[in-house]
């Protein structure tokens, strides 16, 4: 999933949250008896589930953006250590040699 897909899902969840909140508000106005107790409970659960999913996608999006920012910093500095599976790249080896001397 790329950032655009995650944003699209997050926006859809936002619409779902608003729809669930409207339904919850309607049920709370109409539900004055025990018959509607289940509907009230379900509408509250619906809202909280949608909000939890939206928060999860927000965390995924921010984590992905921070990873891309770190990768951009490596690439702009000339470092390729993140591609070498635990080895140090030539660029960093040169920097370490300069710092030691």
Query: DSSP labels for 15-73?
Result: HHHHHHHHHHHHHHHH--SGGGHHHHHHHHHHHHHHHHHHHHHHHHHHHHHHHHHHHHH
- CB hemisphere CA count around 20 (13 angstroms): 18
Q: What is the structure's pLDDT at 62?
A: 80
Q: What is the structure's pLDDT at 101?
A: 72
Per residue in 37-67, pLDDT (tens digit) is: 666 666 777 777 777 877 887 787 787 777 6
Query: DSSP labels for 77-99?
Result: HT--GGGTTTPPPHHHHHHHHHH
pTM value > 0.85 = no
Q: What is the structure's pLDDT at 73?
A: 52
What is the rounded average pLDDT for all residues in the chain? 71
Q: Other CB atoms closer than 10 Å to residue 43's CB: what's the count? A: 21
């Amino acid at each position: 999933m790329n950032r655009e897909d995650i944003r699209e899902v997050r926006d859809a969840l936002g619409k779902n949250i608003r729809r669930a909140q409207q339904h919850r508000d309607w049920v709370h106005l109409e539900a004055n008896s025990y018959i509607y107790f289940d509907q009230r409970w379900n509408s509250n659960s619906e809202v909280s589930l949608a909000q939890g999913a939206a928060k999860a996608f927000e965390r995924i999006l921010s984590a992905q953006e921070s990873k891309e920012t770190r990768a951009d910093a490596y690439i702009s500095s000339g470092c390729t250590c993140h591609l070498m599976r635990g080895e140090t790249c030539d660029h960093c080896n040169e920097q370490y040699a300069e710092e030691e001397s």
